[in-house]
Amino acid sequence: MNIPLVDLAAQHRAVADEVAAGWARVLEKTAFVGGPQVTAFEQEYAAFSGAAHCVGVGNGTDALEFALRALAIGAGDECVVPANTFIATAEAVARTGATVVPVDCDPDTLLIDPTAAAAAVTTRTRAVLPVDLYGQVAPIERLRSLLPANVAIVEDGAQSQGAQRGGRTAGSFGDIAATSFYPGKNLGAYGDGGAVTTDRADLAERVRLLGAHGSPRKYEHPVLGFNSRLDTLQAVVLSAKLRRLAGWNADRRTAADRYAEMLAGVDGVVTPVVAEGNTPVWHLYVVRVAQRDAVLAKLHAAGIGAGIHYPTPVHLTGAFADLGLGEGAFPHAERAAGEILSLPLFPEITVEQQERVVSVLADSLVGESVHA
């Protein structure tokens, strides 16, 4: 039994008819860019996230960059990011011309450490980018209480669509938030896509301007912009999936609970820790094991599509070697990078599939032990 990390085919079958009908309407009207379906989705996603405004863009990295640029962040500024994140978080900062300042994570939840983030703030710090890692919201309210009022919070919600913390939904925290609709996300398009959410009309207007060549109307360009808009065809897909997202996220939670039960008796596995107040959506189910690479190889040999998210902390990538931060700079993030293992998880995963994953994982751990 081969088991994928994510089964996009199963999800497509649930929306195929609705997407086909929606695409047929777009093709008939030929409104491929900026069609009414984009406006409809933006309104739907804003309501879903509990934010006043949503602006669709071409991808999640652009969403982060435009969120930063909307806050007028650029050269000479500093932005604090977690060391353990996908490189796009730091990449977006660098693309504005600002300086990336990595910090360590909580050793248990692996979410950004608010105390470490606050300690990294200088007079040049303009924003902190907490990442809602693996499907649970970062401790943003704690972070806000520790930061100066002039330091903005830009929430990276690419992995947390529908997650909640203290009753609030991901994408509604901080000054502005960015998300990705990459196909494997909880809410995934059939290609690239992204969005920015915020309660501030001025920031939303600025993001929309940036994504449309800096143009509020045809052939007027008061500012230098980019070409990054959410395609109409993708908006059709996203609207169809959004109507099912709450149910899919509930199925993910059920599957995560099953994993926790099944793994409780497996020596050598550390299961995920959920931060108090969080209701995760389990974009990824990430355990920790010793000799991770050897275990991963055994899983792959058995047809189990496990993965690593992420094997190299930001400060140890070649892209950010110029920061001059070597091994030992952020011990929690670095230790986690050598132990984390993402197990297959998607709304349609069956009990039988999970039982096989756990069985193969247990067999793969024979002779191995996780660090104390």
pLDDT digits (tens, 9 = 90+) for 157-178: 999 999 999 999 999 999 999 9
- Gap between the Cα atoms of 155 and 79, Å rounded: 12
> Over 80: is that where the pLDDT of 217 sits?
yes
Burial class (CB in 10 A: 0-12, 13-18, 19+), 5: middle
**What is the mean predicted confidence (pLDDT) over 165-193?**
97
pLDDT at 125: 98
What is the enclosing helix (H) or strand (E) of 56?
strand 53-57
**What is the mean predicted confidence (pLDDT) over 138-149?**
98
Give the list of residues 6+ apart from residue 269 with CB closer than 8 angstroms, or none.
263, 287, 288, 289, 361, 365, 370
CA nearest 268: which of 285, 284, 287, 282?
Answer: 287
Q: Each residue of 7-41: pLDDT tens digit?
A: 999 999 999 999 999 999 999 999 999 999 999 99
> Over 60: is that where the pLDDT of 208 sits?
yes
**What is the mean predicted confidence (pLDDT) over 235-246?**
98
Task: Count other Cβ atoms within 10 Å, centred on residue 40.
Answer: 14
Share of residues in the chain with pLDDT > 70 (%): 98
pLDDT at 234: 98
- Gap between the Cα atoms of 26 and 12, Å rounded: 19
Confidence of residue 367 (pLDDT cuts 50, 70, 90): low
**What is the mean predicted confidence (pLDDT) over 188-210?**
98
What's this model's pTM, rounded to 2 decimal places? 0.96
What is the enclosing helix (H) or strand (E) of 272?
none
> Over 80: is that where the pLDDT of 254 sits?
yes
pLDDT at 366: 83
Q: Domains (ranges, CATH) in the chain? A: 8-239 (3.40.640.10), 245-364 (3.90.1150.10)
pLDDT at 327: 97
> Over 80: is that where the pLDDT of 370 sits?
no
Contact 284, 131 (CB under 8 A): no
pLDDT at 1: 82
**What is the mean predicted confidence (pLDDT) over 170-189?**
97
> Over 70: is that where the pLDDT of 369 sits?
no
**What is the mean predicted confidence (pLDDT) over 80-107?**
98
Which range (140-149, 155-164, 300-309, 363-372) has the least confidence? 363-372
Q: Each residue of 290-326: pLDDT tens digit?
A: 999 999 999 999 999 999 999 999 999 999 999 999 9
Using alpha carbons, list the distances in angstroms from residue 247 to 18, 49, 134: 17, 15, 18
Q: Each residue of 336-348: pLDDT tens digit?
A: 999 999 999 999 9
> Over 50: is that where the pLDDT of 371 sits?
no
Find the radius of gyration of the CA atoms of the chain. 21
